[in-house]
């Protein structure tokens, strides 16, 4: 039905809010990144100075390097573990729903809660290392969280723990949607279970892989809370991510233009991952 | 080895792996609970996996009402209340807006409807760092900086994308004949919404409410950026409790605090797991 004035009127506030508070603010922040804003925003044009400074900062290259390590491991392990769990659970196991609930419940927690729990679990003074010592294993050092070379892997561990169940649920939904006839036919031909997965089922999960990748990649770029609670960016700056960098430079170090520039790059990163996906999903939606 | 024996072995291995995994997933929360019930010296000298020897609820009382967060020794209690004062109105408002938007976007044709929906959809994915500076200014202008009201506003604005997505997809699959026949009977804009759509929307309302509740309860970045000691949500207060404690680290109090912050969303998850999963799926698979 063609919209009269009432529906148009009623959707206007939402449209206005999204237009201003999402897209207007994005444009404002993009503009700020080309100004000389320091502690407060100013509109004084300063060209690409903030970007030049950003790319010259070691803190930024460290944050980017960390994001690269974190994102690739996080995506890879969460997808691997999620798929494994989904396949295992798909073997008509008992207590399926209990197991699913166990693997998925971390998704209901705040990253601050997860970060706090893992902070002390990974702490060599009280956590896993300490426990192993009291059990008599003296020589298993597990002090990654105190080690600036290894601390970023602690962020990976906690993040995987939190989201692997979510990926499992996505794959499980995909597995349950696979055409049963093909599987039965293969089984009649004498194919083994792992062959059926390898040749028939997993190749059909392409769209799930893509969805999971997009969701995980965008979560990795946005990751902030977990790092703050788990390591607060440390030791030193060894677990800084672009999100931590942005907050530090904008609100603590009074280099707002540089902070704005870093957030613009975060948005670009997410845009590259998400926009093609949304575009194809929306097209599918319109045609299906 | 004969075939049945092999498949039986495979079965045992399968369950073994699943059980080990399940233990791994439960372990952090188990550790949180048992160590929140131990005196501090027991954590330092003993192991994190062991049950308490001298059981105590003192860490819980500390975390709830005694420990120092910021200036005053109030415990997490006032911030727990803040989080509820934030979450309830923010969830109700964003859900209502989502229902209205979903209805309008599916039942009426107007220019830019698809563009508007795409714009709302993308807003779900943006890194919120990109809006922090102008939003801080806006809240300042509106006199909402450092207030729970300000946080309600922010969480509603950035929740519209999700709630609209949920309702739009639900109403898009809604049988059109029902809506049409109601219109023939003379139902107007609100009549259709009130008499036809909303009474049939229970599942999507539950999904949306749970999704928004979990998201906003767990939200940290906006809370850390736009609130002060009077209006901190629980996540920010918990982070302060854990990271700012100088001197002796009270692990047991931290664990108790973390668990207190986890209780509301865990309860929601346990009571309504099915709808929680549906929300996750609806949020990830669009179209």
Q: Where are the domains of chain A?
A: 58-287
pLDDT digits (tens, 9 = 90+) for A105-151: 999 999 999 999 999 889 887 888 888 877 777 777 778 888 888 99
Q: How far is A245 from chain B (nearest CA, A)?
A: 10
CB contact under 8 A, B131 and A26: yes
Q: What is the DSSP string of B194-226?
A: IIIIGGG-HHHHHHHHHHHHHHHHH--HHHHHH
Model pLDDT, residue B284 = 61
pLDDT digits (tens, 9 = 90+) for B91-129: 999 999 999 999 999 988 888 888 999 999 999 999 999
pLDDT digits (tens, 9 = 90+) for A236-245: 899 999 999 9
How many CB pairs (< 8 A) connect A and B? 261
Residue to substitute from B32, B130, B245, B276, interface A, most A β-carbons within 10 A: B130
Chain B contact for A247 (CB, 8 A cutoff): yes
Q: How far is A53 from chain B (nearest CA, A)?
A: 19
CB contact under 8 A, A225 and B287: no
Total count of residues recorded for chain A: 288
CATH of domain A58-287: 1.10.3720.10
Q: Which of B81, B196, B134, B281 is nearest to A174 (CA)?
A: B281
Q: SS3 helix, strand, coil % of chain B, rounded to 5?
A: 75, 0, 25
Which residues of B are less than 8 Å from A272 in CB distance?
Answer: none
- What residue of A is the nearest CA neighbor of B13? A88
pLDDT digits (tens, 9 = 90+) for B215-236: 999 999 999 999 998 899 999 9
Full-prediction pTM beyond 0.80?
yes
- What residue of B is the nearest CA neighbor of A111? B218
CB contact under 8 A, B131 and A22: yes
Model pLDDT, residue A257 = 94
Cβ contacts of B41 within 8 Å, gap of 6 or more: none
Q: How confident is the model at residue A288 (pLDDT cuts 50, 70, 90)?
A: very low
Model pLDDT, residue B2 = 62
CB contact under 8 A, B43 and A126: yes
Surface-to-core class of residue A114, CB atoms within 10 Å of its CB (0-12 exposed, 13-18 middle, 19+ buried): buried
CB contact under 8 A, A232 and B243: yes
Q: Which of B25, B31, B261 sits opposite A113 (nearest CB)?
A: B261
Q: With 80 as the cut, is the pLDDT of residue B187 above it?
A: yes
- What residue of B is the nearest CA neighbor of A215? B284
Q: Averaged over B15-28, what is the pLDDT?
A: 94
């Amino acid at each position: 039905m063609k919209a009269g004035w009432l529906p148009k009127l009623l959707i206007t506030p939402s449209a206005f809010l999204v237009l201003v508070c999402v897209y207007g603010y994005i444009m404002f922040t993009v503009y700020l990144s080309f100004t000389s804003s320091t502690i407060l925003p100013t509109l004084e044009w300063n060209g690409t100075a903030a970007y030049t400074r950003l790319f010259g900062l070691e803190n930024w290259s460290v944050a980017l390097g960390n994001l690269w390590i974190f994102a690739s491991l996080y995506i890879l392990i969460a997808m691997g573990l999620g798929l494994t769990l989904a396949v295992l659970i798909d073997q008509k196991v008992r207590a399926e729903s209990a197991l699913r609930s166990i693997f998925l419940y971390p998704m209901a927690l705040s990253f601050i809660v997860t970060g706090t729990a893992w902070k002390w679990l990974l702490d060599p003074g009280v956590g896993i290392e300490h426990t192993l010592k009291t059990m008599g294993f003296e020589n298993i050092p597990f002090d990654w969280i105190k080690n600036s070379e290894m601390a970023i892997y602690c962020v990976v561990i906690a993040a995987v723990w939190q989201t692997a169940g979510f990926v499992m649920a996505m794959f499980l939904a995909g597995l349950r949607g696979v055409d049963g006839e093909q599987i039965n036919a293969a089984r009649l031909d004498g194919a083994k279970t792992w062959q059926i997965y390898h040749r028939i089922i997993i190749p059909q999960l392409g769209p799930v892989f893509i969805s999971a990748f997009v969701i995980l990649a965008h979560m990795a770029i946005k990751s902030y809370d977990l790092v703050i609670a788990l390591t607060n960016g440390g030791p030193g700056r060894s677990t800084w991510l672009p999100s931590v960098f942005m907050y530090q430079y904008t609100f603590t170090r009074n280099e707002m233009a540089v902070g704005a520039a870093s957030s613009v790059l975060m948005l670009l990163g997410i845009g590259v991952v998400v926009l093609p996906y949304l575009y194809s999903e929306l097209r599918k939606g319109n045609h299906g | 080895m004969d075939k049945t024996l092999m498949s039986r072995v495979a079965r045992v291995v399968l369950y073994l792996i699943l059980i080990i995994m399940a233990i791994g997933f439960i372990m952090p929360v188990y550790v949180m609970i048992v160590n929140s019930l131990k005196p501090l010296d027991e954590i330092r000298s003993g192991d994190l996996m062991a049950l308490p020897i001298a059981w105590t609820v003192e860490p819980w009382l500390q975390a709830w009402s005694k420990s120092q967060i910021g200036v005053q020794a109030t415990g997490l209690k006032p911030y727990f209340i803040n989080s509820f004062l934030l979450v309830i109105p923010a969830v109700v408002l964003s859900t209502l807006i989502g229902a209205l938007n979903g209805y309008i976007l599916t039942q009426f044709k107007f220019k830019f409807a698809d563009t508007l929906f795409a714009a709302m959809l993308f807003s779900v994915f943006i890194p919120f760092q990109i809006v922090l500076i102008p939003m801080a200014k806006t809240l300042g202008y509106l006199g909402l900086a450092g207030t729970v009201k300000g946080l309600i506003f922010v969480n509603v604005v950035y929740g519209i994308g999700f709630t609209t997505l949920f309702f739009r997809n639900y109403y898009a699959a809604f049988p059109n004949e029902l809506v049409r026949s109601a219109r023939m009977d003379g139902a107007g804009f609100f009549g259709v919404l009130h008499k036809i759509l909303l009474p049939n929307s229970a599942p999507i309302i539950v999904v949306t409410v749970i999704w928004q509740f979990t998201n906003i309860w767990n939200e940290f970045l906006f809370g850390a950026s736009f609130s002060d000691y009077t209006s901190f949500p629980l996540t920010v207060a918990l982070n302060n409790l854990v990271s700012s404690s100088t001197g002796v680290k009270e692990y047991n109090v931290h664990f108790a605090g973390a668990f207190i912050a986890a209780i509301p969303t865990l309860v929601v998850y346990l009571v309504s797991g099915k709808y929680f999963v549906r929300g996750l799926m609806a949020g990830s698979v669009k179209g």
